[in-house]
Chains A and B, each alone.
Chain A
Amino acid sequence: AQSVTQLDSQVPVFEEAPVELRCNYSSSVSVYLFWYVQYPNQGLQLLLKYLSGSTLVKGINGFEAEFNKSQTSFHLRKPSVHISDTAEYFCAVTRSGGSYIPTFGRGTSLIVHP
């Protein structure tokens, strides 16, 4: 079974500052990794995914994440945040080549201040 730990429940940051949202996973097999964003009163939207290939993955809205197998991490980064990035961010993992059912972390609330 897989598990996901999002180390920060809340990350406050000022507009135009860089941000990193941390995600660590645990799995005995190879995994696929995902980041989703949830804006208030909406469903989740896929930001980016790592299935194979380059460990640096670029997603929508200027976000990127790097898969680090040795550290079992998949941290999400953005060099300059906007007010509109205020949302809940979820990291998720699924077993590669197997189930399509992901295991989600508890989420990190990104709060961007003007």
Chain B
Amino acid sequence: GAGVSQSPSNKVTEKGKDVELRCDPISGHTALYWYRQSLGQGLEFLIYFQGNSAPDKSGLPSDRFSAERTGGSVSTLTIQRTQQEDSAVYLCASSLDGSYEQYFGPGTRLTVT
């Protein structure tokens, strides 16, 4: 079956512009995660959605970052007024309810110039 997909695969934007990154999880997966991976760093947790519960936003680095998940499926991560330090690979993952195994998408490489 289809895995987790993310779009776009690459995004180059100018400093100060807003960007939207999309994640399509595996069908039937109720949990969805966003991570940021910077060069030479591990994965930094950003936000976690589980079913209809309020999302865990504890990892969002600033109020310029937000995310939503519509209909319990597709998720969009929005970064407003992008800064150069936002340049990174943004990874999305999904999992079944109650499972610790996460399935990752290929990521979106964001470059802020």
Q: Which residues of chain A have C-beta atoms less than 8 A from B31's C-beta?
A: 100
Contact B42 A43 (CB under 8 A): no
Pick from A34, A42, A43: contact of B100, CB under 8 Å: A34
From 93 to 114 in chain A, residues with beta carbon under 8 angstroms from any chain B beta carbon are: 94, 100-107
Q: How far is the CA of A33 from the CA of B104 in the complex (A)?
A: 17
A9 CA to B41 CA in the complex, in Å? Answer: 10
How many A residues, CB 8 Å from partner? 24
Specify the chain B residue showing the minimal Cβ separation from A32. B100
Instruction: Determine the distance from Cα of A46 to Cα of B100 in the docked complex, in whole angstroms.
Output: 10
Pick the contact of A101 from B4, B56, B107 — CB < 8 Å? Answer: B56
Say yes or no: is A57 at the interface (Cβ < 8 Å to chain B).
Answer: no
Give the nearest-CB partner of B107 in chain A: A43
Contact with A along B71-111 (1 / 0, CB 8 A): 00000000000000000000101010000111011110000
| Min CB gap A63→B, angstroms | 16
User: Chain A's nearest CB lies how many Å from the CB of B74?
Assistant: 17
- Count of chain B residues near A, Cβ 8 A: 23
Question: What is the bound-complex CA distance between A32 and B10, given in angstroms?
Answer: 33
Judge whether A25 is part of the interface by a CB distance below 8 angstroms. no
Q: Which chain B residues lie closer than 8 Å to A44 at the CB level?
A: 43, 91, 93, 102, 104
Quick check: A46 and B101 within 8 Å, CB to CB? yes
Quick one: closest B residue to A43, CB to CB? B104
Chain A: minimal CB distance from B45 (Å): 5
Q: Is the CB of A106 within 8 A of B107?
A: no
Q: List the A side residues contacting B104 at CB < 8 Å.
A: 36, 43-45
**Residues B93 and A43 in contact, CB atoms below 8 Å apart:** yes
Return the 9 tightest CB-CB contacts between A and B, nearest first: A43-B104, A104-B42, A104-B43, A44-B104, A106-B42, A43-B106, A43-B105, A105-B42, A46-B101
| A–B Cβ pairs within 8 angstroms, 9 of them | A32-B100, A43-B106, A44-B43, A44-B104, A45-B104, A100-B95, A101-B48, A101-B59, A102-B45
Residues of chain B having any CB pair with chain A under 8 Å? 4, 31, 33, 35, 40-43, 45, 48, 50, 56, 59, 91, 93, 95, 100-102, 104-107
